[in-house]
């Protein structure tokens, strides 16, 4: 009789364990569905950096202001986006980093090796002098256009295209007035307004 009770207890224990394993199997499939998220980890970010997802035309599909300095890690469900080419863009103080990715039939492929870093121009005003600097390690061209405010309409005052230089440095003398400075480089446009 003891053997029948022991075998019954063992049988009940095995059924319970089997049911538990089945419930874990269901949870595992739930986790698998959640694995559609693409994990993005960025090191050395600062609070105030801007993270965006852009399509091939440069349209912003998502934008987030980084809240904490250090390491940024987040999962993105990108499977709802149509097939095509996209980029993660991290806009930092003096540089913009991009990580391209492709969506094809709900598969997301990060192309970290094709990521780029472009340096932003730096403008500094001292008195009536405007200092413009930019690092261009790959000799990227840069166009500087200075517009003067003429009764709420901007007129082109000076335009200059600089090519073949790694460290661009220019100084412009500005008379009293309001100015709009537009700098084009690395397929990006930077605009700054100056009240002198």
Residue 152 pLDDT grade (very low, low, confident, very high; cuts 50, 70, 90) = confident
Exposed e or buried b for every residue in 11-27, given b needs 16+ CB within 10 A?
eeeeeeeeeeeeeeeee
Are 124 and 55 in a shared domain?
Answer: no
Encode pLDDT of 48-77 as tens digits. 999 999 999 989 999 999 999 999 999 999
Enter the pTM of the model: 0.69
User: Range of 48's domain?
Assistant: 38-117
Are 50 and 113 in a shared domain?
Answer: yes
Boundary-marking domain end, from 56, 84, 117: 117
Q: What is the CATH number of the domain that holds 168?
A: 2.60.40.730
pLDDT at 166: 92
Q: What is the CATH number of the domain that holds 112?
A: 2.60.40
Are 49 and 113 in a shared domain?
Answer: yes
Contact 130, 123 (CB under 8 A): yes
The three-state secondary structure class of 176 is: coil
Per-residue pLDDT at 29 exceeds 50 = no
Kindly report the three-state secondary structure assignment for every residue of 108-171. Answer: EEECHHHCEEEECCEEEEECCEEEEEEECCCCCCEEEEEEEEECCEEEEEEEEEECCCCEEEEE
What domain count does the chain have? Answer: 3
């Amino acid at each position: 009789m003891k053997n029948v009770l022991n075998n019954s207890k063992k049988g009940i224990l095995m059924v319970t364990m089997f049911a538990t394993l089945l419930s874990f199997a269901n949870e595992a499939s739930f986790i698998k569905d959640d694995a559609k998220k693409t994990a993005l980890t960025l090191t050395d970010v600062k609070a105030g950096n801007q993270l965006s997802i852009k399509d091939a035309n440069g349209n912003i599909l998502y934008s987030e202001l980084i809240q904490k300095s250090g390491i940024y890690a987040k999962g993105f469900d990108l499977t709802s986006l149509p097939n095509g080419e996209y980029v993660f863009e991290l806009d930092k103080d003096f540089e913009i980093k991009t990580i391209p990715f492709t969506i094809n039939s709900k598969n997301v492929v990060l192309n970290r090796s094709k990521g780029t870093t472009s340096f932003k121009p730096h403008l500094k005003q001292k008195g009536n002098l405007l200092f413009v600097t930019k690092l261009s390690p790959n000799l990227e061209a840069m166009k500087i256009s200075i517009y003067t405010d003429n009764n709420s309409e901007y007129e082109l005052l000076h335009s200059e295209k600089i090519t073949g230089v790694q460290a661009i440095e220019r100084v412009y003398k500005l008379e009293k007035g309001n100015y709009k400075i537009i700098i084009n480089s690395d397929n990006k446009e930077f605009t700054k307004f100056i009240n002198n």
